[in-house]
Amino acid sequence: MNTGPAPADTAGASSLKRRFERGVKSLTQGRLGRAAVIALPYSWLLLFLLLPILIVLKISLAEIALASPPYTPMLQWAEERTLALQVHIGNYAYLWQDPLYVGAYMNSLKVAAVSTIFCLLIGYPMAYGIARAPAGWRIVLLMLVILPFWTSFLIRVYAWIGLLQGNGLINHLLLSIGLIDQPLVLLHSNFAVYLGIVYSYLPFMILPLYATLVRMDLTLLEAAADLGCPPWKAFLTVTLPLSMPGVIAGSLLVFIPAVGEFVIPDLLGGPDSLMIGRVLWTEFFSNRDWPVAAAVAIAMLAVILIPLLLFQRVGERETTRER
């Protein structure tokens, strides 16, 4: 009789131990562990990206009010036991009806697109040159591309004011060598905005392009030459298609922030170069109209993200079809 419970006990203990070990194992190696690893970046995105966007979305659906914060609440106790939900979509209708906003969006997209093309045209040869330079030189040349980041962005834009203004360095130089006899109007023009954006965002174009070009297998170019393809044609049929991931990544890195750019058009642009970033700033700080400012921001997000998502969907479908 005595012998009965003892083995059962030890069996129970050992099974408990086994279960515990299995639990630890699944936590560190199994699905649970993997979930824990993924949970960290996801909660970061949830907390600092999705949640703020939802707050902005909520504000954009309110009305301006003399209060603190200066907009009407979304949920309100109307009467006893009645919770009123107020969704005001007038801000979006207002954006659509007022040509100022539509014009600013269009101008932003145009400025961003043109700047992206110029960044590509200037950045591609630079990235190509760095990628094909002797290995020891590459790191030096890359450092030169990254070097401007060591100075504040704002200071660099201000420096352009000093260069471009009527009695600035460039006009001074052109006058002194006699090329012009009247100072050129460079500052506060569309030209200055393009210059500022291309200058500021060029490294974001060069770096991804460099990364794809430096990884390219150069025997592919030898093979192209061997098959009767002259160098310029080999560039178009081999190098360029193979560097498309870099072209796309660089273009997005330039285009997306350029659409919402505020500092450069504000400091270098003129009255006719109205971009959406500046409109947003005016709505928020001058008009103190938070709901309209929030609607401007959400609409901008939609303008950029929806084409991007469609583009990605098409790209994905293409790769899956090829498989």
Partner 1 sequence: MPQQRRDPAILEAWQDPDARPFLEIQNVTKVFDGGTYAVDDVSLRIYKGEFFSLLGASGCGKSTLLRMLAGLERCTQGRILIEGQDITRMPPYERPVNMMFQSYALFPHMSVEQNVAFGLKQERLSGREIRSRVSEMLELVHMSEYARRRPDQLSGGQRQRVALARSLAKHPKLLLLDEPLGALDRKLRERTQFELVNIQERVGTTFIMVTHDQEEAMTMSSRLAVMDAGRILQVGTPSEIYEYPVSRFVAGFIGAVNLFEGRVVTAEEDRVVIQSDDTPGEIVMYHAHPLAIGTPVTVALRPEKLRVMDEPPSDDRNWIQGTVREIGYLGDVSIYHVGTDRNRTVQVQVTNRARRTAGPLTWDDSVFLGWDTDAGVVLTA
Binding interface with partner 1 (CB under 8 A):
217, 219-220, 222-230, 233, 237-238, 241-242, 322-323
In the chain, which residue ranges form alpha helices assigned H by DSSP?
Answer: 5-28, 31-45, 51-60, 90-97, 99-132, 135-146, 153-164, 169-176, 190-215, 219-226, 231-234, 240-242, 244-259, 263-268, 276-281, 290-322
Pick 95 or 234: Cβ nearer partner 1: 234
Pick 155 or 227: Cβ nearer partner 1: 227
What is the nearest approach in angstroms of partner 1 to the Cβ of residue 251?
Answer: 19
What is the nearest approach in angstroms of partner 1 to the Cβ of residue 139?
Answer: 21
Count the alpha carbons within 13 Å of 51 in the hemisphere toward its beta carbon: 7
What is the nearest approach in angstroms of partner 1 to the Cβ of residue 114?
Answer: 29
Pick 200 or 239: Cβ nearer partner 1: 239
- Please count the other Cβ atoms lying within 10 Å of the Cβ belonging to residue 101: 21
Q: What is the DSSP string of 80-105?
A: TT-EEE----HHHHHHHH-HHHHHHH
Pick 4 or 136: Cβ nearer partner 1: 136
Pairing of strands 75-77, 83-85: antiparallel
What is the nearest approach in angstroms of partner 1 to the Cβ of residue 134?
Answer: 11
Pick 65 or 220: Cβ nearer partner 1: 220
What is the nearest approach in angstroms of partner 1 to the Cβ of residue 137?
Answer: 16
